[in-house]
A and B are shown apart, each in its own frame.
Chain A
Amino acid sequence: MSTTPAPAMPALAKMTRPSDPTAADPTVKIDVSRMNFYYGEKRALHDISVQLGANLVSAFIGPSGCGKSTFLRTLNRMNDIIPGTRVEGTVLIDGVNIYDPGLDVVGLRRRVGMVFQKSNPFPKSIFENVAYGLRINNLTKSKSELSDRVEESLKAAAIWDEVKDRLHESAQALSGGQQQRLCIARALAVRPKVLLMDEPASALDPIATQRIEELIYDLKKDYTIAIVTHNMQQAARVSDYTAFFWLGKLVEFGRTEKIFTAPTEKLTEDYVTGRFG
């Protein structure tokens, strides 16, 4: 683990409009500074600096290949598993630089959970899927505590009522939307601080999508959420802040209502109005 002392949390002054009476003064959870990211020689992210507030939903939008998913994956070092990648700059989460060479990456990924586009339950029972992370990390002391944590996670992911009578049946018998919520429960079980979601609803029908969106809205009470979506309307519905990426650059970051009603940059305006290209 890094021993870097946590700096004082700056207020997100530059993220909020002074005239916006609803703008709280959120503390910074994730502070990315001058980040460059390379796949081999190819620079995929250019000089990204952004601060994501605690207990807020931040959405990343932009056309395919703009770097939004790459950026999301830098936040829990998921890109480390791709050979030839390299990061410059700093990513502070709760004031700790996650690229510190001494950092425990497994611990990081426990604190910064992730949910993917395609739900990927293990070929195990519903219960075991959620219990898995708790078991391998030895996070519970007794069987009853394990059961409690599984139940708590399934409830938080709004799937408990649908699965409570069949916890020991295979997770793969669940519908796509249920599998995705199970994966969210699995991510929540290890009590992360941050939840990264990479297109979490793009493979789901509108009703399952709506459930996930409502879940995101509920979860932000307890978690800081970053979500990548190619669905602009989804970003508009679920997020507090929106970041628009284009060609590996962060073009604009601001309150979602501002991005979708009066963006500052012409490029953002062209993208959200569908006049892109």
Chain B
Amino acid sequence: MERVVRHFQEELDVLKSRLLEMGGLAEQRVRRAVQGLAEREHDLIESVLIGDEPINALQLEIDDRCLKLLALHQPMATDLRAVMAAVKINTDLERVGDLAVNIAEAAKRYAMHPPVKKLIDIPKMADIAQAMLRDALDSYVKRDMALARQVLHQDDSLDALKTQIFRELLSFMLKDPSTIEAALDLILVSRHLERIGDHATNVAEDVIFMVSARDVRHNAPEPDLQRN
């Protein structure tokens, strides 16, 4: 016999939609920052630099909602894990918003130098990082473990691209030291994108914990809880 407390469920649905909204904003800002970098588009870069407020406001609102849900409803089991996951996802998304600002800062500096090279791998990294973020949030809303696991696997390709970008830019810097400043900014951007992938991975791990009560962080083996 399963009965759902509607009041609590309604609150949880609102919480989910707010998290989605925040994820959408964070993703949009990463896209703008990278586009601003690639196209050396000053206005786009500036819009990221000054537009962090909505995400910050959402972070405070979501934390407040979680606090109230815990205090007023004392959720148990899957409901408790859902609120716990929301608290953690909230922090990750806010960090993604901050990283978008960091990328925009690097893009602004980069635009003051001649381009080091045509950007290929960085937009590719940005696409992967954004897709990971989207999939991670989708998996949260749909409670989709398979999709969450997919996100974990995507992280490897992001790491590989970051290493590749580093090596390539290192060779540019060795060849022509005048590119060092600009190349370092590109390396920083690749580092920020890789961190965004890590945050998406955190979200996916939280989803797996929420759905199955299995903690898969730090490569922990997945114990079969049914047997215990």
Tell whether B68 is near chain A: CB-to-CB under 8 Å.
Answer: yes
Task: Report if A214-B74 is in contact (Cβ < 8 Å); known contacts: A257-B68, A261-B68.
Answer: no
Residues of A within 8 A of B220 (CB): none
1/0 per residue, CB under 8 A from A, across B155-171: the answer is 00000000000000000
Q: Which of B1-9, B89-97, B127-135 contacts A (4 or more CB under 8 A)?
A: B1-9
Residues of A within 8 A of B73 (CB): 236-237
Residues of B within 8 A of A260 (CB): 71-72
Q: How many residues of A contact B (CB 8 A)?
A: 13
Task: Report if A207-B6 is in contact (Cβ < 8 Å); known contacts: A257-B71, A261-B67.
Answer: no
Residue of A236, A256, A257 touching B74 (CB-CB under 8 A):
A236
How many B residues are at the interface, by size bracket? Answer: 10 to 19
1/0 per residue, CB under 8 A from A, across B1-33: the answer is 101011110000000000000000000000000
Residues of A within 8 A of B7 (CB): 214, 217, 237
Q: Are A257 and B5 in contact (CB under 8 A)?
A: no
A227 to B220, CA, bound (A): 48
Tell whether A213 is near chain B: CB-to-CB under 8 Å.
Answer: yes
Tell whether A144 is near chain B: CB-to-CB under 8 Å.
Answer: no
A210 to B1, CA, bound (A): 13
Q: Are A214 and B68 in contact (CB under 8 A)?
A: no
Would you list which residues of chain A between 167 and 222 have a CB under 8 Å from chain B? 207, 210-211, 213-214, 217
**Closest A residue, CB atoms, query B68:** A257
A178 to B68, CA, bound (A): 31
Q: Are A213 and B68 in contact (CB under 8 A)?
A: no
A206 to B8, CA, bound (A): 16
Q: Are A261 and B71 in contact (CB under 8 A)?
A: yes
A210 to B8, CA, bound (A): 11
1/0 per residue, CB under 8 A from A, across B68-93: the answer is 10011110000000000000000000
**Closest B residue, CB atoms, query A232:** B74
Tell whether A142 is near chain B: CB-to-CB under 8 Å.
Answer: no
Residues of A within 8 A of B6 (CB): 214, 217
1/0 per residue, CB under 8 A from A, across B28-67: the answer is 0000000000000000000000000000000000000001
A217 to B72, CA, bound (A): 14
Residues of B within 8 A of A214 (CB): 5-7
Q: Are B5 and A236 in contact (CB under 8 A)?
A: no
Residues of B within 8 A of A211 (CB): 3
Task: Report if A257-B1 is in contact (Cβ < 8 Å); known contacts: A214-B7, A217-B6.
Answer: no
Q: Shortest beta-carbon distance, A187 to chain B, in Å?
A: 22
Tell whether A233 is near chain B: CB-to-CB under 8 Å.
Answer: yes
Residues of B within 8 A of A233 (CB): 74
Q: Shortest beta-carbon distance, A230 to chain B, in Å?
A: 16
Residue of B3, B8, B72 touching A257 (CB-CB under 8 A):
B72
Residues of B within 8 A of A236 (CB): 71-74
A211 to B6, CA, bound (A): 10
**Closest A residue, CB atoms, query B10:** A217
Residue of B5, B8, B72 touching A256 (CB-CB under 8 A):
B72
A121 to B8, CA, bound (A): 31
Q: Are A210 and B74 in contact (CB under 8 A)?
A: no
Q: Shortest beta-carbon distance, B35 to chain A, in Å?
A: 34
Residues of B within 8 A of A217 (CB): 6-7
**Closest A residue, CB atoms, query B6:** A214
A214 to B6, CA, bound (A): 7
A233 to B6, CA, bound (A): 16
A212 to B22, CA, bound (A): 35
A217 to B73, CA, bound (A): 13
Query: 8 shortest A-B CB distances, which residue pairs?
Result: A236-B72, A260-B71, A261-B71, A257-B68, A217-B7, A233-B74, A237-B73, A261-B67
13 contacts between A and B (CB under 8 A): A207-B1, A207-B3, A210-B3, A213-B5, A214-B5, A214-B6, A233-B74, A236-B72, A237-B72, A237-B74, A257-B68, A260-B72, A261-B68
Give me 8 other A-B pairs in contact (C-beta within 8 A), A207-B1, A211-B3, A237-B7 excluded. A217-B7, A236-B71, A237-B5, A237-B72, A237-B74, A257-B68, A260-B72, A261-B68
